[in-house]
Structure 1
Amino acid sequence: MKRLDTYLLQNFLGPFLASFSTTLVILVIQFLSRYQEDILGKGFPASALAELFGYASASLVLLALPMGLLMAGLMTMGNLGERLELTALLSAGVPFIRILAPLWAFGLVTMGAATWLSWQVVPRSNLKLYTLLYDMEHARPALALKPGFFNRWIEGYAIRIGALTPPDRVRDVLIYEYAPDGSLQRTIRADSGRLFLNKAWLFLELTLYGGCQYETSLGSQQAPALIQSCFDTLLLRLDISGLGLRRSDERLFAGHQYMLEIGALRTAVDSLTTLYTSFQEERNQALRSVWLPPLPSDSALPLPAVPRPLVENLLRREKTLAEYYTQRHTQLQETLWRYQLEWYYKFSYPLATVVFLVLGASLGGVIRKGGLGMPLVVSTALFILFYVLNAQGKKLAREGLLHPAVGAFLPLLVIGPFTLYLILLVTTEARWLYADWWRKRWRAWRATW
């Protein structure tokens, strides 16, 4: 049996690594397309982009693992079935559950790793990821001189170059320098020049050759005067410290539900629950004070008239109070739902790894088709179903239409019974599990009528 376990693992690991890596790359590309407007075109260094994708991959691993395990299990058992090895094992009296023992062990190890990622690693990577995304979103575009266009990335300057010869040669340079009030202060023309960019992105050094500069100044009679001076070499040092990527303090985002580890998230949920309960008591007590007092027993007697301005002020105050409590109630409730949803996701994602592994192995034992075509089609369809159910469950839970636990476990609640059905179908071979048996019963029942 040890040889069987080794043989199954050898046939399983290759498809798992291939499908897991492919799914992770696809998810990273989807992530890039979602934030491409904030990332691309700003001249960020390759190290910053690699750091961004590394942090994003840590959180996307939890989504890629189910797909990798599903397809690997389907291909492994499908290949065994297509080569009649599965039939031989079952005929020899080896239970299907025993055949899956090494895959069960691998799935439990993967679930443990996914739990560690979900509880500890992903919150830390999310903190760095969203901090970096925030900095990239608010970063000014980096220096990129395009020939034939006026480049205004540097504050107070408009620079146009006719041609750019890598790495640092420019020709036909025209520079407009503006005063703080926006008026034109100096114009510089040059035949050629060289660029030098400080590695710390503090300044741009531009050495110009063969040109003239025209500067506007005030004369003795406060009349503007145009001063022209030509040069063989002119050195300009332009401040570009405001360009590029500037890092924010991570503590600004540390309280978000995505950035909290399992212990801190549990504490936050308990605190929000206590706050929400105390707020409800405060709201109910405040609304009870709005109730009108009962009329006296002898209502036939005339009641004292209440001045109209006083009534209007009271109504206005109560309306403002009701709007405040309604808005505050909605805010607290939605915040509590979001934190509870993230808490349940800490358990649903690791559990999905085992469920999808068993689903793929059982489905492969039923279909018994190996190769890449059929497993890829079936795995893609099931993963799309999982992805859609996961997105809809999150959306409905945040809107309060589903309990956060139901929203987090919605994909497993839908796919889990189907997985159990497949296990029974492969292990018991009961006739009532097949559709033909039900069709025959249906026809027999209709024939009696």
Structure 2
Amino acid sequence: MKKVHIFILKSYLGPLVMTFFISMFILVMQFLWRYVDDLVGKGLEWHVLTELLFYASLQVVPMALPLAILLASLMTFGNLGENYELTALKSAGISLIRIMMPLIILTVLTAFGAYKFTNNVLPVANLKLVSILHGVKETRLELDIKENVFYQGVDDFSIKVKKKNPQKNMLYDVMIYDHRDRKARNSNVTLADSGRLMMSNDKKFLKLTLYNGVRYDEKIGLQDQKPNAEEGLFRTDHFKQQTAIIPLKGFDFSKTDENLFKNSDRMKNLKQIINDLDSLNTEKSKFIDNLRLRSKSFYFSQIPISRSKPGKKTNKPDRLSMIDSSRVVNADSLFLTFSDNQKQVIMEMAMQKARSTKQTIDERLRFIEQKDRTIRRHKMEMHRKFTLPFACLIFFFIGAPLGAIIRKGGLGMPVVISVLFFVAYYIIDTMGAKLAREGVWLVYQGMWLSSIVLLPLGIFLTYKSATDSAIMNADAYTIFFQKLKAKFSRKKKRNIRD
């Protein structure tokens, strides 16, 4: 029996490794396609791209591993069934569950490793990847000056050339506008027959050497001279060679500080998520308790409106001050005792108070909703650390019995079936995650929706395969429909005779 188990393991491990790396490659290419606009033309060094691809590969493991297990189990048991090796093992009295046992143990160990990966490795990979991607997005494109087009890539300068020679790094008929003086825009212009443009190795400075040119400055003395004075308003400098060092910002790549993203739910392990959930729930509860205490202390301020006429002194107390706070007062009756002007003042004050109260309530509700969203995202990430290992088990119990039923190996039919199942799983999982994120469903309901849908299918296929069901046999369905057709034909003839 050990030889059989070793044979099954060898037949499974090869397709598993192959399909895993194929899935990783496809998903990483999808990642690059998504961020191609941010990567092209940045002049990133090879070690930055290598680090980016490495962390991107780690990030797609949760999607690649279940797909690889599904495809490898389908291929393995499809090959065993196609070569009648599975039939020989069953004829020897070995059940399908016993044949699958070494792979079940391997899948359980793989699921445990997947949990460790999502809990310990994936948060660090997400943090590193986000830091690199943010740095790449903040990096400017490489210096690429086109002919007859003003180049705005250098801060405070506009550069235009009529012709350039990339081999010699020469520019011809150069025009440069200096915009460092915001108040006198386009007042400083430099024209040159040719020039050479060089960027420092660290991409922090631009060395621009111009030949046979002239510099026009129209703002010299513009602020100090009198309105009618014309002296000192213009300046022209001719030169045979002029070198300028222009500081550059944003052309060199630098990682963004990782501390900016550490508070995100994707960057935390299970222990950190549980601790942060306790803190978030405590903070939310304290805020709600304080809100309840404030709501109990709300009262309408007394409106000091005198019933006496203007300019006439009276010793009579105010009508509102005569009201005993312990008695129940009919507000409508009290309101009708005031004059029209007093009623208008009361209404305006009430409207102002209502608007202020509504604005305060809306702000507090937004704070509570924000806390709820943060709590839901942390709970989703906590459940996601367990849904991946469980998905590995479900896909194995779908792929292995299905491969034994269809008895087709290779990369043909198994690939088609695996892609269909994985797309269905991904759609259901995305829909459940969206419902959980928006608070329509409870978090555990949305996060475990895909597993709940596919688990009965895995149990059904395992049962049908263990009982040698002909569920995927086309001949069985043909015979069934022929019997059904014959039954209806006999019934029709019987009705004709009657």
**Aligned: 1:346 with 2:355:** no
Which ranges of structure 2 fall in alignment gaps of 5 or more residues?
Answer: 222-228, 301-324, 339-345, 492-498
CA gap 1:290/1:226 in 2 versus in 1, 3 angstroms: closer
Q: Match of 2:11, SS?
A: helix
Aligned-partner Cα distance in 1 for 2:455–2:159: 63
Deviation for aligned residue 1:375: 0.3
Aligned-partner Cα distance in 2 for 1:417–1:147: 65
Within 5 Å, give how 1:350-389 maps onto structure 2: 350-389=389-428
The aligned residue for residue 189 of structure 1 is: 192
Deviation for aligned residue 1:431: 9.2
Deviation for aligned residue 1:346: 0.9
**Please, which of 247, 263, 266 is the counterpart of residue 255 of structure 2?**
247
Deviation for aligned residue 1:341: 0.7
**Aligned: 1:324 with 2:363:** yes
The aligned residue for residue 347 of structure 2 is: 308
The aligned residue for residue 213 of structure 1 is: 214
**Aligned: 1:238 with 2:238:** no
Within 5 Å, give how 1:214-293 maps onto structure 2: 214-216=215-217, 218=220, 221-231=230-240, 233-287=241-295
Contact map agreement 1:164 1:171 (CA 8 A) in 2: yes
Deviation for aligned residue 1:52: 2.2
For 1:247-280, what per-residue CA distance to the aligned partner results, in whole angstroms no more than 9, with x for missing partners?
3221111111011122111111122222333344
Deviation for aligned residue 1:114: 1.2
The aligned residue for residue 435 of structure 2 is: 396
Which ranges of structure 1 fall in alignment gaps of 5 or more residues?
Answer: none
TM-score normalised over the length of structure 2: 0.79
CA gap 1:409/1:222 in 2 versus in 1, 3 angstroms: farther
Deviation for aligned residue 1:73: 0.6
**Aligned: 1:119 with 2:88:** no
Aligned-partner Cα distance in 2 for 1:184–1:105: 78
Q: Match of 2:191, SS?
A: strand
Contact map agreement 2:134 2:255 (CA 8 A) in 1: no
For 1:95-119, what per-residue CA distance to the aligned partner results, in whole angstroms no more than 9, with x for missing partners?
2112112322321232122112100
**Please, which of 465, 468, 483 is the counterpart of residue 426 of structure 1?**
465
The aligned residue for residue 206 of structure 2 is: 204
Amino acid corresponding to residue 422 of structure 2 in structure 1: F
The aligned residue for residue 408 of structure 1 is: 447
CA gap 1:291/1:301 in 2 versus in 1, 3 angstroms: closer
Within 5 Å, give how 1:164-179 maps onto structure 2: 164-166=164-166, 169-179=169-179
Amino acid corresponding to residue 186 of structure 2 in structure 1: S
Aligned-partner Cα distance in 1 for 2:86–2:376: 47
Deviation for aligned residue 1:298: 9.3
Moved more, 310-319 or 99-108: 310-319
Contact map agreement 2:188 2:216 (CA 8 A) in 1: yes
Aligned-partner Cα distance in 1 for 2:289–2:231: 73
Aligned-partner Cα distance in 2 for 1:288–1:13: 67
Moved more, 6-15 or 71-80: 6-15
Deviation for aligned residue 1:66: 0.4
The aligned residue for residue 153 of structure 1 is: 153
Deviation for aligned residue 1:168: 5.1
Aligned-partner Cα distance in 2 for 1:13–1:433: 26
Deviation for aligned residue 1:229: 1.9
Deviation for aligned residue 1:397: 0.3
CA gap 1:172/1:107 in 2 versus in 1, 3 angstroms: same
For 1:137-186, what per-residue CA distance to the aligned partner results, in whole angstroms no more than 9, with x for missing partners?
33333322334433221112223345554555224151404142233323
Structure 1 or 2, whichever has the larger Rg, is: 2
Contact map agreement 1:432 1:438 (CA 8 A) in 2: no
Q: Match of 1:224, SS?
A: coil
The aligned residue for residue 59 of structure 1 is: 59
CA gap 1:276/1:433 in 2 versus in 1, 3 angstroms: farther
Within 5 Å, give how 1:18-33 maps onto structure 2: 18-33=18-33
Aligned-partner Cα distance in 1 for 2:161–2:438: 54
Deviation for aligned residue 1:417: 0.8
Aligned-partner Cα distance in 1 for 2:299–2:217: 75
Q: Match of 1:151, SS?
A: coil
Percent of matched pairs sharing the same residue: 30
**Aligned: 1:83 with 2:92:** no
The aligned residue for residue 11 of structure 1 is: 11
For 1:9-32, what per-residue CA distance to the aligned partner results, in whole angstroms no more than 9, with x for missing partners?
222223222222222222222223
Moved more, 350-359 or 44-53: 44-53
TM-score normalised over the length of structure 1: 0.87
Amino acid corresponding to residue 447 of structure 2 in structure 1: A
**Aligned: 1:334 with 2:373:** yes
Contact map agreement 1:142 1:244 (CA 8 A) in 2: no
Amino acid corresponding to residue 420 of structure 2 in structure 1: A
The count of residues paired between Structure 1 and Structure 2 equals 441
Contact map agreement 2:160 2:174 (CA 8 A) in 1: yes
Contact map agreement 1:44 1:142 (CA 8 A) in 2: no
